[in-house]
């Protein structure tokens, strides 16, 4: 039996890249625990292969991914759900997003729920115009579990993230392009492959270390810095310069700072 998540090491001209293929089309490529473990193992292989210049995530069948398989989590207790399903999924998607290589989601079908969260873990997203994107979890009384709400807000803004996650209704690929949810739109599967080949050619010509460093810097742009900010503000308040600045403001004069 073929693995439900397949790893291929491929070459296109000078480009050496990895393909991760979701291979459960009869179930809409819904993710179960075994698939998550396979994906986790594949990420480990990619991490150790310095020749790979890019990673492509794609799927077989009508759907890119319909999210987490309800049969995999529907009967779990809340504690088991949080520990064994949600936290593990966050870990796997986080490792995928943190790969040094650029990750491309080639979306040839609908990406819904956890499937959209998987696509959001990629750096670049291209989709055929027939694809739809949605976060229908609220229609099941659930929420996005694998950091999807945050990644949506980071990618398309809070207002549009609210639209997707509160209404629970999908949007078409053209609207996803307009919102910045995807970065390119393909007319059909052939056009998707043509554009994808162009991206791979460009990425293979770029400096891999520079791309990895750039990814690292971008990933820090939306880090939770509340505690860092609070600590920095407290540190500033404790300085003699801050005391001088406050006193000068009250005395309506120019402060004299001594860098201490």
pLDDT at 6: 96
Residues of the chain with pLDDT under 70: 1-2, 221-237, 246
pLDDT at 237: 61
Residue 175 shares a structural domain with residue 259: no
pLDDT at 222: 59
pLDDT at 249: 73
Q: Which residues are catalytic?
A: 117, 137
- Tell me the pLDDT tens digit for each residue of 195-213: 999 999 999 999 999 999 9
DSSP 80-119: HIIIIIIHHHHHHHHHHHT-SS-EEEEE-SEEETHHHHHH
Residue 101 shares a structural domain with residue 186: yes
pLDDT at 226: 56
Q: Note down the domain range covering 236.
A: 224-260
- Closest by alpha carbon to 16, among 37, 41, 43, 46? 46
Question: Could you tell me the pTM of the whole model?
Answer: 0.86
Residue 11 shares a structural domain with residue 77: yes
Q: How many domains does the chain have?
A: 2
Residue 135 shares a structural domain with residue 231: no
- Tell me the pLDDT tens digit for each residue of 14-43: 789 999 999 999 999 999 999 999 999 999
């Amino acid at each position: 039996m073929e693995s439900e998540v397949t790893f291929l090491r491929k070459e296109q001209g000078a480009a050496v890249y990895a393909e991760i293929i979701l291979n459960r089309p009869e179930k809409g490529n819904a993710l179960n625990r075994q698939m998550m473990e396979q994906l986790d193992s594949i990420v480990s292989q990619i991490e150790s292969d310095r020749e790979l210049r890019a990673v492509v995530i794609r799927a077989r069948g009508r759907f890119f991914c319909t999210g987490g398989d309800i049969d995999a989590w529907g009967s779990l207790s809340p504690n088991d759900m949080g520990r064994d399903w949600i936290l593990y999924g966050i870990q796997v998607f986080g490792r995928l997003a943190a790969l040094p290589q650029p990750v491309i989601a080639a979306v040839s079908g609908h990406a819904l729920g956890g499937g959209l969260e998987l696509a959001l873990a990629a750096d670049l997203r291209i989709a055929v115009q027939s694809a739809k994107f949605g976060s229908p979890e609220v229609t099941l009384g659930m929420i996005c579990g694998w950091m999807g709400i945050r990644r949506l807000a980071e990618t398309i803004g809070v207002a549009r993230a609210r639209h997707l996650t509160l209404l629970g209704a999908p949007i078409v690929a053209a609207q996803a392009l307009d919102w910045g949810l995807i970065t390119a739109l393909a007319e059909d599967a052939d056009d998707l492959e043509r554009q994808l080949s162009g991206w791979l050619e460009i990425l293979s010509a770029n400096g891999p270390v520079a791309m990895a460093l750039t990814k690292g810097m971008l990933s820090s742009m939306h880090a939770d810095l509340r505690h860092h900010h609070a600590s920095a503000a407290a540190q500033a308040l404790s300085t003699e310069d801050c005391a001088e600045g406050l006193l000068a403001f009250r005395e309506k004069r120019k402060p004299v700072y001594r860098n201490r």
